[in-house]
Amino acid sequence: MMKRYHPSTILFDFVAIVKSYAILAFVVAVNIGSDSWLSRVGRILLLGSVVLTVSASILKWFSRKYAADDMAFHLESGIFEKTERTVYFDKIQNVQWHTSFLHKLFGMTSITFETGTSGMNSNVKFDALRRSEADRLEKAVKEFMQPVNEITQTEDGIAPIIPERVVHFTPTRKDTIKASFTSLSFLIILLVGTSVFSKLNQLFDVEDYVEGWLASILTSGWMIAGLSLGLFVLALTIGVVWTFVKYGHYEIASDEDRIFISKGVLEETAFSIAKKRVQAVEITQSFMKRMLGLAEVKLISAGDLGDDEDEVSTLYPFLPVKRAYAMIAELLPDYEVIPDTKRLPRKSLAARLFKPYWFWLIVTSLLAYFRPEVFKLQFGWAMVSIALLVLLVISRILGYWNTSYALKGQFIQLSQGTFEKTTFLSRRDKIIEVSVKRTKLQQWFGLGSIGLINRAKPVRHEMLEDMPIQEARQFVSWYAERTKDVQLQ
């Protein structure tokens, strides 16, 4: 039986309207006393836009209906033109929950069923539902996915097996503090303080008072030390609180078929993905994370992960490296992180250093033409050109140093990066296309570049440059054995 969406959907649409028109409303409010024709037009446009949008939202609510049976979602929409859509449960790849602070106030939640197709209507999204109704819809999908032959004998008869959920990770206080340093969230106090000072200065011209107060402080060493310590403690406290609000109640769990990620204090987000839908795994280490021995693991899925897909599909972004590798094996038994990888030969470094420095040539040409005096030096522009060339050479050396690769069984692993290192891990049966390309320079050095494509949204392209051509050809032969891994139904 078809039913309408929850009436609170109108409220959440109205909140979205308020956000979208916030800037225009602010401009109108600032010029509320003005009688100019531009101000009057602005007020009319704002009022008309809000009335039309709210009216459309109400009409949309009356025209939208949904139903869920044992096999699919049935959706109806359209104000002037009616559209009916059926989304079968076997097309659903991921399930995402999002409970904002406003959702909590009204006892609601938002749930999105994500498919592997593309387009505006690829997903089934409910912006506002009672938790009981959201649970019912998700349960319908899970029961469809659960094989019917998985049953067990009980005293009362036959009952389906309920997969046991195992919790793999919850952050400790130490993890939260380390995460606040790594994410540099404690620097938010500087951004907020600068913004507040700028606004106050525009209203009250406080800059002159602050300069005198600051001059008196700088004359006392004790005052400087005390102020610095106080600011550091305050920034650290705010950073820890900010990190806890964003990553608090974090949990990574799994059962036999799915992976579950949940997080958030004021705003809760929960995400689940079928293990068989994972196309690849990406392990990223920024410069700061490499110093602290941390890593971020991201699951690459064929489904659409929404607007916040980088964070939604990411395991805890501040995992210790060894724990991250172990967790990949726990969550995805079909995946294996390869510890022993190959480095590129030295001729690959030579080829990279010999590649044209087009960016440096363009910048140097502009500097030579305009000849600006940098640091009040006549030939300062030449020093900038030399510094840029040195920086580019160092980045290519670091890129070579951080590049490694491995082919083991049905797995491929690529590691690349300069200051940030990224490791890409995938299975042969998840790769849909491979390629080998060679430039003239690579041909002279006996090298080539391999490329591979994984099914994702958007399609995921990976490339490893300057690999020995013999191993690039072995890579193609390795992929040709994909027929052994792919089972046709």
Of residues 199 and 465, more confidently modeled: 465
Compute the distance between CA of residue 406 and CA of residue 413 in angstroms, rounded to an integer: 5
The model's pLDDT over 113-132, given as tens digits with 9 standing for 90+, comes to 988 666 666 789 999 999 99
| HSE toward the beta carbon, residue 346, CA cutoff 13 A | 0
The model's pLDDT over 433-453, given as tens digits with 9 standing for 90+, comes to 999 999 999 999 999 999 999
pLDDT at position 180 is 72
pLDDT at position 310 is 46
The yes-or-no verdict on residue 365 having pLDDT over 70 is: yes
Strand partners, 3: 66
- What residues contact 270, with CB distance under 8 A and at least 6 apart? 96, 97, 98, 260, 261, 262
Phi, then psi, of 167 in degrees rounded to 5: -85, 125
Compute the distance between CA of residue 36 and CA of residue 25 in angstroms, rounded to an integer: 17
Query: 349 to each of 83, 293, 455, 463, 465, how far by Cα in Å?
Result: 58, 27, 31, 17, 11
Q: What is the pTM of this model?
A: 0.78
Of residues 50 and 58, more confidently modeled: 58
pLDDT at position 482 is 87
DSSP string, 117-136: --STTSSEEEEEEEHHHHHH
Strand, coil or helix: what is 332? coil
The model's pLDDT over 223-262, given as tens digits with 9 standing for 90+, comes to 666 766 777 777 777 777 777 888 878 899 999 888 999 9
The model's pLDDT over 16-56, given as tens digits with 9 standing for 90+, comes to 877 777 776 766 666 666 677 777 777 787 788 778 888 88
The share of the chain scoring above pLDDT 70, in percent, equals 81
Compute the distance between CA of residue 466 and CA of residue 400 in angstroms, rounded to an integer: 9
Tokens of 234: 């305050």
Beginning with the edge strand found earlier in the chain, give each strand of the sheet holding 342-343 in spatial order.
319-320, 294-301, 278-285, 421-427, 411-417, 404-408, 342-343
Q: Is 296 exposed, middle or buried (0-12, 13-18, 19+ CB in 10 A)?
A: buried
